[in-house]
């Protein structure tokens, strides 16, 4: 059994890769930087996990097409790689205080290109490499604005990703395919993306390890989850309409 995790070199992606690897999957470590990807392969191998680096840069479609040409019989694709805004390498970019008015077109374009267009291109490129019962998993976030949660670039790109999840699910169902596509919302997780610490906000912020295990439990569920958006506690989100939640 084989799983490809994008952005597997750190954060939630690394822990999903590790958790799937511990449950017997051969892991394709998707990373945009070869050195970081190979270092991850070595870390996983030290835990007796079978892992191979594969170059996945969501901003470079050639890398996605080349990766698709190298992959076959893929059972699980986890679309984890993502950014919260026009990110500068090496620093967290999720700025929850940033006003909607302060987002630039460049912020929106960069985030949309990575989280939505790159992910779409990867899924499309890998369709012929998936097994008949393959699962495609999109890691996502809540999209309705609240007092503390209204990062325009991030939630706009994830809203587009969620629509894609549903439209692919519709097509799979309509054609009688046994493939599934679903979203997982891990909740707040302490990673470089937000610079938070595990246990912060009264324990609300999870460790990447907890998020990885929780996501893996959902991914490996026997249930048909096609078209679902599933929260970290296993709850299926049924009120996923965009609305002001002030
Ligand atoms: N942290 C949270 O609270 C939280 C909550 C809900 C959902 N999520 C989602 O979880 C996913 C992982 O986030 P994280 O928190 O683990 O963040 P992270 O630690 O910053 O990891 C992000 C990963 O995505 C990769 N990446 C970024 N841009 C890429 C590109 N253009 N091509 C390929 N890979 C790229 C990064 O690679 P480099 O190391 O090369 O930069 C890194 O491996 C994201 O989709 C995020 O939206 C996070």
Domain membership flag for residue 237 = no
Question: How much is the pLDDT for 235?
Answer: 95
- Identify the segments of the chain with pLDDT beneath 50: none
Ligand 1 centroid vs 17 CA: distance in angstroms? 13
- In total, how many domains does the chain have? 1
Question: How much is the pLDDT for 88?
Answer: 64
Question: How much is the pLDDT for 91?
Answer: 58
Burial of 224 by CB count in 10 Å (0-12 exposed, 13-18 middle, 19+ buried)?
exposed
CA quadruple 90, 95, 98, 100: dihedral, nearest 10: 90
Please tell me whether the overall predicted TM-score, pTM, comes out greater than 0.85 for this model.
yes
Q: Could you give the C-alpha distances from 213 to 62, 169, 194, 223, in angstroms and in order?
A: 32, 24, 20, 17
Ligand 1 centroid vs 7 CA: distance in angstroms? 6
Domain membership flag for residue 169 = yes
Q: Return the ligand 1 atom nearest residue 189 CA.
A: 3
Strand arrangement, sheet containing 130-139: 51-55, 26-31, 2-5, 74-79, 130-139, 180-185, 229-231
Domain membership flag for residue 159 = yes
User: Quick count: other Cβ atoms within 10 Å of Cβ 99?
Assistant: 9
C-beta 94 within 6 A of ligand 1: no
Ligand 1 test: best mutation among 82, 89, 137, most atoms within 8 Å of CB?
82
- 178: containing domain: 2-231
DSSP 17-73: HHHHHHTT-EEEEEESSHHHHHHHHHHHHTTT--EEEEE--TT-HHHHHHHHHH--S
Domain membership flag for residue 243 = no
C-beta 19 within 6 A of ligand 1: no
Domain membership flag for residue 241 = no
Question: How much is the pLDDT for 238?
Answer: 83
Domain membership flag for residue 104 = yes
CATH code (residue 160): 3.40.50.720
pLDDT tens-place string over residues 83-93: 999 866 655 67
pLDDT tens-place string over residues 143-159: 999 998 999 999 999 99
Question: How much is the pLDDT for 86?
Answer: 81
Q: Which helix (H) or strand (E) holds 185?
A: strand 180-185
Positive/negative CA dihedral, 50, 141, 182, 82? negative
Q: Return the ligand 1 atom nearest residue 12 CA.
A: 16
Domain membership flag for residue 193 = yes
C-beta 210 within 6 A of ligand 1: no
Domain membership flag for residue 101 = yes
């Amino acid at each position: 059994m084989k799983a490809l995790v994008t952005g597997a070199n750190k954060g939630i992606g690394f822990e999903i890769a590790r958790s799937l690897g511990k449950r017997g999957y051969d892991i394709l470590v998707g990373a945009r930087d070869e050195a970081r990807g190979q270092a991850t392969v070595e870390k996983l191998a030290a835990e007796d996990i079978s892992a191979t680096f594969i170059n996945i840069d969501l901003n470079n479609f050639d890398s996605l097409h080349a990766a698709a040409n190298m992959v076959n019989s893929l059972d699980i694709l986890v679309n984890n790689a993502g950014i919260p805004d026009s990110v500068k390498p090496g620093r967290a970019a999720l700025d929850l205080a940033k006003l909607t008015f302060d987002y630039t077109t460049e912020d929106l374009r960069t985030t949309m290109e990575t989280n939505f267009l790159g992910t779409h291109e990867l899924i499309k490129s890998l369709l012929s490499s998936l097994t008949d019962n393959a699962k495609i998993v999109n890691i996502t976030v809540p999209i309705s604005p609240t007092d503390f949660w209204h990062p325009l670039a991030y939630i706009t790109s994830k809203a587009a990703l969620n629509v894609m999840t549903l439209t692919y699910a519709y097509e799979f169902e309509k054609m009688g395919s046994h493939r599934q596509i679903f979203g997982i919302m891990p909740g707040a997780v302490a990673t470089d993306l937000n610079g938070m610490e595990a246990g912060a906000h009264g324990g609300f912020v999870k460790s990447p390890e907890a998020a990885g295990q929780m996501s893996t439990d959902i991914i490996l569920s026997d249930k048909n989850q096609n078209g679902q958006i599933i929260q970290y506690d296993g709850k299926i989100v049924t009120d996923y309409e965009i609305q002001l939640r002030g």
